[in-house]
Amino acid sequence: MIKSDGTEPSEKHRTMFFELAERYISLHPAIAAALFTLWEPYLSEWNDDKPIVRSVKHMLEYTNLFCIELEAPSRIRLSYSFTPEVGWDDAMFLLRLTNWEVTPESLDD
C-alpha cells in the first residue's frame, strides 16, 4: 500500500521500497523483538497450555508479513499475522519503521 496525495507513487516511494528490501534481513532481530513485545502480554492469558511462541527467537518463524504501507518521506508500517499453527488466525501485528528504527504499534484481532 502506498499513501500519497492521490498522485502516482513518487521516486521516494520507490526508493523506500527498494531500501526496505535491501535492509529487511538485517532488521529481523528488531522486528522479532517488536513483535514479541506486542505478543508477550498475551502469553499468560493464552488458553492453550502450550503456546507455540514463547520467545523472541520464535516470532519470525510463526508470523507472516502480509502488508507493507509506505508513506514518504520516511515512514513504513509492516503488518504481520500468525501462522495457522499458533491458533490465533485473526491476530494482526502492526510495526512502524521510522528512519529504519522499528517500533511496536499494536496487536489486534
pLDDT, tens digit (0-9, with 9 covering 90-100), for 7-36 = 677 788 888 899 999 999 999 999 999 999
The mean per-residue pLDDT over the stretch 43-57 comes to: 77
Q: How far is CA 20 from the centre of its chain?
A: 13
Give the confidence band of 50 by pLDDT, cuts at 50, 70, 90: low
**Averaged pLDDT of the chain:** 88
- What is the residue range of 54's domain? 10-108
Q: How many domains, in total, are found in the chain?
A: 1
Let me know if residue 3 belongs to a domain.
no
Q: How far is CA 50 from CA 13, 41, 78, 89, in A?
A: 42, 15, 27, 17
Please give the residue that has the higher pLDDT: either 55 or 2: 55
| pLDDT at position 49 | 61
Let me know if residue 37 belongs to a domain.
yes
CA distance 16 to 75: 9
Please give the residue that has the higher pLDDT: either 23 or 71: 23
CB atoms within 10 A of CB 102: 20
Let me know if residue 65 belongs to a domain.
yes
Single-letter code of the amino acid located at 101:
E
Model pLDDT for residues 74-85, shown as the tens digit of each residue: 789 999 999 998
Let me know if residue 1 belongs to a domain.
no
Let me know if residue 19 belongs to a domain.
yes
